[in-house]
Amino acid sequence: EVGCPLLRQFNATMCYHDGLSPHWRSARRTSFFANIVVLVVSALHTPEDHLLLGNNALAVGQLDEAITHFEACLATALQDSQEHQFCQINLASALVDLNEVETDDESAKKKRAEKAIELLRNVLRLQPEHGDAAFNLGLLLQEQSQSEDTTREA
């Protein structure tokens, strides 16, 4: 529990250490707490570390942890860097995955889907030929609406 006692006062419910740094998960992800987590986690790792840790968490279904790392990557990586682009794509994927497992209200799901679309469009603005971003955006847009305009954009 090295480094975690301070976080307990912010409703952290679980703390573990992977040999590199302390990690935690929150019972309730308030905006304030989420911002504190991103700031603390950002200071502990490089953008490349966050990308790797986020990918590892995403691969095993630890979506909150993956999202935290991808957000930290975005906060610390240079905007036109490859890491920034990958973190946007992977954060979008994590948000879509979270929508599939969460049972919260439709409003929260809609906000996550809109954020995922925004992230993918950001990547395509910088790199219009990015295949992964284009493919993921197309799938997401088709899922969101069955209109002709949306299908054409996808």
pLDDT tens-digit map of 115-130: 999 999 999 999 999 8
* Number of H-type helices and E-type strands within the chain: 8, 2
Structure-block tokens of residue 89: 């794509």
* Average pLDDT for 56-66: 92
b or e along 50-70 (b: 16 or more beta carbons within 10 Å of the residue's beta carbon)?
A: bbebbbebbeeebbbbbbbbb
Helix (H) or strand (E) holding 123: helix 106-126
Using the Cα atoms of residue 17, residue 22, residue 23 and residue 28 in order, give the sign of their dihedral: positive
pLDDT tens-digit map of 64-109: 999 999 998 998 888 888 889 999 999 999 999 999 898 778 899 9
11 within 8 A of 26, measured Cβ to Cβ: yes
Q: How far apart are CA 63 and CA 142, in angstroms?
A: 23
Q: Around Cβ 77, how many Cβ atoms within 10 Å?
A: 21
